[in-house]
Amino acid sequence: MNNLKDFDKQHIWHPYASMQNPLHVELVKSASGVYLTLENGEKIIDGMSSWWSAIHGYNVPEINEAINSQLQNMSHVMFGGLTHEPAINLAKTLVDITHESLEFVFFSDSGSVSVEVAMKMALQYHQSLGNTKKTKLLALKKGYHGDTFGAMSVCDPVTGMHSIFKDVLHKNLFSASPTCSYDEEFKDEYIFDFKKMIQTHHEEIAAVILEPIVQGAGGMNIYSPEYLKQVKIICDEFNILLIFDEIATGFGRTGKLFAYEHAGVIPDILCVGKALTGGYMSLAATITNDKIVKGVEANGNVLMHGPTFMGNPLACSVANASLKLLLESPWQKRVKDIEDTLHVELKKCEDLPIVKEVRILGAIGVVELNKNVDLAWMSREFIKQGVWVRPFLNLVYIMPPFIIKEDELKTLTSAIYKVIKSFEKEKNKI
């Protein structure tokens, strides 16, 4: 087994990590329910749902069965000039469960690519209609939309991981990240910067792109639905399209099937991914309305995108099984139960001096510290506590599978409390 890990260390790049001086990685042998089984047989509770995606946990019989049966028919065919039942059924479900105006589905192979497609839709819309000056997007600081170049160009320009590329990225515009918490009474000043950016730059702005209600990897910021309502009013006033990136928040994570439902604000373009396949494999979709389709295709143009693995039948079958499972499950109650437990258990972390704030919405719990964590040290401590939690910067956060049981969730939250507490002690020693 050590040979495997040695090879990994010497030859395989891991995300956002050094190849020459790699961080320690755990070798996972299998996963089932909410547990990951490591090479030594130890089982740890997954608090991360494999980065938001494994909402049903792992090794799910219904999804396994969907893959097996699709494999007997075909694993893949190109989507240019061909179509198939798994993609048609998936598009039907997506059209069905999103707002009635969102009728047209473009499949792609990852969240980042679905964002690229959304950006292209918005830019092509304005170009085709002759609004040739509208070539920029307005995004929010602390936003995260993926790692491809277009997506990077709308990630937080300073704290985002991509500031390194700033000189080669398309120059987009940024407004302050929302500062009004979910339940807070909304004041006009909360939207002031956004309004000012639009008033100043509306002639060059094709679309606003944002993660509704929860900004994920850019800062785990949870904000007021009223902010979205204001954004919509201002965008409509200046002929600016609205793109919602629900790659992290979609499929129940925030307590609503889609986070835009918290505000009742419907985007022109919606990106989904991650939990679309229950975390089994990579698939994403960009869903849009009649106005965008007609605009993009004005003057005989068509949307210029077509990935090789677009609408992959295996991935679509998995997504169909995952969505069926979700929609037939008591997911609202499960997410609410997780939220209630987090309110009681994770909130206890606010007693620790090193903790700045605990934020909770749906099946998302965030502990913000007033210091950056030591990732290597903390990951090891979490494993000792029997859980998988992977913090970044000063954020320790979880978004567990919806099927997690109360005692398992309490194991996670008490591990977070203990590890943060001992981190505080360690730091005080230095």
Ligand X SMILES: Cc1ncc(COP(=O)(O)O)c(C=O)c1O
Binding site for ligand X (CB under 6 A): 51, 110-112, 115, 144-146, 211, 216-217, 245, 247-248, 273
User: How much is the CA Rg of the chain, to the nearest whole Å?
Assistant: 22
Other residues' Cβ atoms within 10 Å of the Cβ of residue 82? 9
- 28: part of which helix (H) or strand (E)? strand 28-32
- Shortest approach of ligand X to residue 406 CB, angstroms? 27
The verdict on whether 35 is a catalytic residue reads no
Task: Catalytic residue, from 46, 156, 245, 268: name it.
Answer: 245
The verdict on whether 144 is a catalytic residue reads yes
- Shortest approach of ligand X to residue 298 CB, angstroms? 28
Determine contact, residues 316/107, Cβ cutoff 8 Å: yes
Task: Catalytic residue, from 134, 136, 256, 274: name it.
Answer: 274
Nearer to ligand X, 211 or 368 (CB): 211
Q: In whole angstroms, give the CA distance from residue 316 to residue 136.
A: 32
Nearer to ligand X, 146 or 219 (CB): 146
- Shortest approach of ligand X to residue 158 CB, angstroms? 18
- Shortest approach of ligand X to residue 361 CB, angstroms? 15
SS3 356: strand
- Shortest approach of ligand X to residue 248 CB, angstroms? 4
The verdict on whether 245 is a catalytic residue reads yes
Determine contact, residues 247/273, Cβ cutoff 8 Å: yes
Q: In whole angstroms, give the CA distance from residue 366 to residue 170.
A: 32
The verdict on whether 340 is a catalytic residue reads no
- Shortest approach of ligand X to residue 145 CB, angstroms? 5
HSE on the CB side for 262, CA within 13 Å? Answer: 25
Nearer to ligand X, 121 or 217 (CB): 217
Q: In whole angstroms, give the CA distance from residue 345 to residue 357.
A: 14
Determine contact, residues 251/55, Cβ cutoff 8 Å: yes
Nearer to ligand X, 249 or 413 (CB): 249
Beta-carbon contacts of residue 37 (< 8 Å; ≥ 6 apart): 28, 29, 30, 31, 43
Nearer to ligand X, 310 or 415 (CB): 310
Residues in a beta bridge with 210: 244
Nearest residue to ligand X, scored by beta-carbon proximity: 111
Candidates 171, 117, 177; CA nearest to 148 is: 117
Task: Catalytic residue, from 35, 58, 125, 144: name it.
Answer: 144
**Token reading at 44:** 């740890």
Nearer to ligand X, 345 or 368 (CB): 368
Q: Which residues are catalytic?
A: 16, 144, 245, 274
